[in-house]
Structure formats: structure tokens, C-alpha cells
Chains A and B, each alone.
Chain A
Amino acid sequence: MEMVSTVQNTDVKQSLQKVNERLLEKNPAESLLFDVVLIATDSQQQSSRIISSTSHYGLEVGRFCFSSREDLVETLVVNNVQLFLSTDRDEALQVSQKGVLSALLGRQEAPSESLRVMLCGDAIVRPDCDPVPASRGAAQSFSARLGEMRGRFGVSGSPLSIVLVTSSGGSKSCGVALQTLRSRGLSVDEAYCLAGAPRGPILSLLRPHFLLGDGVIDLED
């Protein structure tokens, strides 16, 4: 699976690497792995610094890509990218509006034991309220692949954790989201139903590496 990041968020890459390592431990012939492509849209002068510091931090980046902002989406499509990660909300939104699934990177204060992927359940339960309908198809197929990957590990001790958060519906609609995701092959580990409570305090505890399915509402509400 190809994931692309525009920024050196070392913790998310280390967590992705750990997932790959654990997958290969279970099955040395495993083909469902994370493949990270680092894409830089800043000026070319940065390129050598980016490459050298990536190896300095011991990060296994599959490929480097230097693109301009205008060509970003095309570059992503050409490289068969399934998920685009960014800390820039506008950039992420633009990309997802063109049909490529994108997610915001979370701020990591401390390294965590597993890769924590957060899904926002509101759009799953009410697809007509989906802020970015263009990338819905990409989101569903990514969830299925992620589910497959998660399924390689047991209930506990997984290097990959799937976290579901619903902001506005009640417990019933969160239950619907859980079952919908399950029917698409994605088994959620943790679920938080806020039912209108302020997101900030809970999100700061959840510390996701990235948040899927919430193109408009940002991580730090």
C-alpha cells in the first residue's frame, strides 16, 4: 500500500515500519505492506537535505518524489498512491476533492507503541453528510485493505490500532458505524461516541497518527 507524506513526521514513519516488520515476521512472503513515498513540494534545494536526514533517522522510505504544488495530484495518481498524508489541511482537502484519499497527520508528543489510525464515523453513518464525497470510493477501498492488514494480527498486541470516533450521533449510530466498517472488512479496536461533547479533550488523549474521513473538521477542534 502506498502512502505519501509531505513532511518528516518521524513517528508515523517509524510506526508504519514497525507494522511492516511485524507483518514480515508473521509471513516473510507478505505482500500487503506499507510502502512510503516521500513527496516534497518545496524547492529542489531541499532535496538532498531531505534524503540525507531520512537516512539519518533510519527511516525506510521507498521513494522520493519532487513535485510542484500544481502537479501534486497528478504525481499521486501516477504513483498509485492510496493515501496521502499531510499536516496542511488545505492541501489535504484539495487532494481529496480530486478523488485521492488524504488524511491529516496528528501531532505526536510521545512515541506510541502502535500505529493509531483514527476514523471519523459520522460520514460513515450519514453518507449524505460526507464533506468530501469525491474520495469516498478511495476511502472504502483503503479501509478494506487496512482491515485485511489488521486482520493479520490478534485482538491484543497489534502494531496497528483502528480507532473510531463519532462526534454527533448517539450510541446507536456509532453501533451502526462499527457494523458497517465490519461489513467492509475493517474491525475497529477502540470506539468513542462523543454525542456532542467537545472533541478537544478526548482527541488530545487519543493521539492518532492520522485521521481518515474528516476532510473538513480538523484534528484540533
Chain B
Amino acid sequence: MSEIKAKDFAPTGDAGEEKDAAKAHFDNLKTNKPRPPKPQYAVTIAVSSRTLFNMVTERKIYEDQGLEEYVAYQRDHENEPLMPGPAFPFVKALMTVNARLRQLYPDSEELFDIVLMTNNHAQVGVRLINSINHYGTLHLQPDISRLARRTAAAAHTFKGSPLYPNLHTMSLQLPFPLSDLTIERFCMTGGESPTGYLEAYMTNLYLSKDSEKVSEAIEEGIAAATMFMAVKENELSDTQLRVAFDGDAVLFSDESEIIVKEGGLDTFFAHEKKFENTPLAQGPLKCFLEALGKLQRKFYAKNERLNCPIRTFLVTARSAASSGARVLKTLRSWGLEIDEALFLAGAPKGPLLQKIKPHIFFDDQMFHIEGARELGTISAHVPYGIGQKYNKGKLIESPAKKK
């Protein structure tokens, strides 16, 4: 007995026309708010709720008292905005870049798109949305009042000029675009893993506090990292997005790290010298650097190289003399630029990062992450490569996989 097959869903007659009309109506709805870009053109960054907001207290309730209590707590505190989390400064910086891009290219959809990707229950989502809206409007007020004071002061100096009578009717001209915290897209999966949705949104970078989800994403070929809050807060730029990357096992594959771990430094130096002109293989974050480079070039095209609101850094334990050339040649062979390359020759990364003040620093080794955090850098661990099997230089016996 054959199953009755579902009919084709193609629009027919009246139903089809109505569908087109409704779609056109939605598409043409006017709004003053900038519309989110289409995923295929945008650089999509997916952030989890715990990276965007500080949910340490709430997480504890979930762990100690269970899911029902946690959801009830969030509902009871729905109208209290959450405090910013580790990814918050990074997301704000992305918005700043978007504002500059929109100024130069008003019709382009090559922008950053932020998606909130959480496995939280939708009832918790109400508090998340309220928190996003809170920061969306809050950002504007201090800037406007500061600007109003400056404009009033400037008006004072023109008192004698024939223009003076008109100054108080002049509208506020903003010399730079203000940016909102506007996160318009989200997936609240109510318990399911968000990995499938990452692909559906063509995600370029996924940030989460959950290392299992991050590992899953990396296995699917999506750049991802586990975020860690800094122990203290460095003051970060609010006009330029600054991103720092480790080299091996982040931008590049872990092939060289394997040699160090198994053969020692001298073997490593010899190997790197020998293969200086052979590009290294790609690492999990290479594509994200590429996406940043694409947006940087849009600024260069408009003569904004000196004023570019994106700056990238390579912070590597390699030394320039013995193993640096291969790294730079690899980047060149990929057609990628990095603004500053810093070779530490084994020195700790923390102090240097403290000077650079990136909005985010990616590294595959936890001891570098810890070192960075202690000195105020927001860090993101990339769980990739041989570095995961070692802790402080010793090989860890891998535990049986949890079911």
C-alpha cells in the first residue's frame, strides 16, 4: 500500500499572488533602523548568551538547582538587564566597524552580522532580548550629551559672527556615526545543540563558553573559540576593532607544534628553515582572518588605510630569525595581510597583549590564555591540534569520551 505523497508546494493561482503580495509588503516595510545584512554577503559572528552577557549567578542556579529553577529565576528577573560578558566589547567594536562601513558604502551588505546563538529556553530569551535593547539605547545617550556640550561651547565662540542667531536652530551634526548594540537575529534552541544552525546562518566565527560546542563547530569546519573573561579590565579602543591571533594551530595547522612536542626546539628550527618556502596548512581561524581582511580592503579602497577601524595582530611564540620567515611567507601565499606580527621567541604573551589591548585574543594553548587573562586581555581558546593533548608540557592521558 503506497503512501499518499505530499503535493507539490508550488504556488497556484490566487494563493500564489497573495503570497507574493504579502512577501512584498514585508520586504517594503520602511524602517529607520539599518536592516541586518543577508547572510551570504555578511561576516556572521555567532555569540552565545553567556559570552554576550555575564550569567555567572544564573549559571550557578542552573547547576545547583536545576533547569526549572533557572528558567523561573530568569523570568522573575526579566526586566533587569544582564551585565556585559566577555564578548561584549568585541561585539560593540564590530558595531563600530559596521557604522563606518555604512557611511562609506551605504548600499553594501558586506558588514558584520551578529547572531545570538543559544540553547537557552525561549522564556529565558525574553530577558536576553530586554538586555540587548537596554544596551541598544543606553549607548546613545552619553554620546549625545557630550556632543551637545561640545557644540554649545563651539557656538559660544561664534557669538560675534553673523551666523550666531542661526546656531541655536542648527541641527546636531555628528562628526562620526554612533553605533547601537543591535542584535536582530537569534536562535534559542530550547536545549538542542546550536551547531546545525551555525551552518544555516553561514557563520564565520562562533564564540561560546561551552568548549564541547566549540569543538563540535571546529569539527564542522566553523571557526570557533571558547571565551574567557579577563581577570581585570584593560581599557579598549572604541573606534577600532583590534583582533590578536596566535599562529600555530590557530591561523596555521598544528604541524609545526607536533614537531616541537615530539622532537624538541632544535628539530623544530631545522625543520622550519628547511621548509621555509613551503606554506603551512590552514588552521581553524584562517578564514576569519580572511573575512577581516576583505573588510579592511574596503576601507583601503576609500583611502582610509591610516584610519582603518580594523587592526589585526599575530602574537606568536616563534622567533623571527629562526622560524618567522615561514609564517610570513605563508600569509603572503594566501594573499592575507596582518597589520602587526610580533615574534616573542618564547617570552610570555601577557605583557605584550596588555600593550596591544585587543578586543579578543585567540590561542590554542591554555597557559597562554591564562597568562593573557591575568593581565587584562579577553581571551578565546581554540581547542584544536596537538596542544589539547598536553598540559604544561606533559602529555595528558585522554579520558574515555563522555556519552
Contact = CB atoms under 8 A, between A and B. Distances in A.
A195 interface: yes
Given A193-B186, A195-B184, A178 B122 contact: yes
B187 interface: yes
A175 B130 CA distance: 8
A220 B9 contact: yes
A194 interface: yes
B4 A88 contact: no
B217 interface: no
Interface in B61-80: 67-68, 71
A156 B67 contact: yes
A190 B190 contact: yes
Interface stretch (A22-30, A65-73, A197-205): A197-205
Task: Enumerate the 3 nearest inter-chain pairs by beta-carbon distance, A residue then B residue, closest first.
Answer: A175-B129, A201-B200, A191-B122
Contacts of A122: 26
Interface in B81-139: 116, 121-123, 125-126, 129-130, 132-133
Contact of B197 (A8, A188, A205): A205
Contacts of B185: 171, 193-195, 197
Given A167-B26, A193-B185, A205-B196, A155 B71 contact: yes
Contact of B6 (A87, A164, A194): A87
A90 B10 CA distance: 10
A105 interface: yes
Interface stretch (A13-21, A74-82, A133-141, A211-219): A211-219
B321 interface: no
Nearest to A122: B26
A23 to B, nearest CB: 19
Contacts of B35: 195-196
A49 B213 CA distance: 48
B121 A129 contact: no
Nearest to B118: A191
Which range contains the number of A residues in contact with the other chain?
35 or more
B201 A197 contact: yes
Given A175-B126, A175-B129, 9 more contacts: A87-B6, A155-B71, A155-B123, A156-B67, A174-B186, A190-B189, A191-B122, A191-B186, A191-B187
Contacts of B9: 89, 218-220
B125 A191 contact: yes
Greatest chain A CB density within 10 A among B6, B122, B199 is at: B122
A93 B15 CA distance: 8
A154 B126 contact: no
Contact of A197 (B23, B29, B38, B123): B38
Interface string A162-192: 0010011011101100110010000111111
25 contacts: A89-B11, A89-B15, A129-B26, A131-B18, A131-B22, A155-B123, A156-B191, A168-B27, A170-B182, A170-B184, A171-B183, A175-B133, A178-B125, A190-B188, A191-B186, A193-B185, A195-B36, A195-B185, A196-B38, A201-B200, A205-B196, A205-B197, A216-B15, A217-B19, A218-B11
A172 B68 CA distance: 25
B39 interface: yes
A136 B18 CA distance: 17
A44 B133 CA distance: 58
B274 interface: no
Contacts of A201: 199-201
Interface of B: 1, 3-4, 6-7, 9, 11-13, 15, 18-19, 22-23, 25-27, 29, 33, 35-36, 38-39, 67-68, 71, 116, 121-123, 125-126, 129-130, 132-133, 182-192, 196-197, 199-201
A216 B183 contact: no
Contact of A129 (B22, B116, B187, B197): B22
Nearest to B136: A172
A220 B187 CA distance: 19
B122 A216 contact: no
Contacts of B7: 87-89
Contacts of B38: 196-198
Contact of A192 (B3, B33, B186): B186
Given A187-B123, A191-B122, A218-B19, A202 B130 contact: no
Nearest to A56: B1
Contacts of B11: 89, 218
B74 to A, nearest CB: 11
Nearest to B72: A155
Given A90-B15, A188-B122, A205-B196, A168 B29 contact: yes
Contacts of A187: 123
B25 A171 contact: no
A33 interface: no
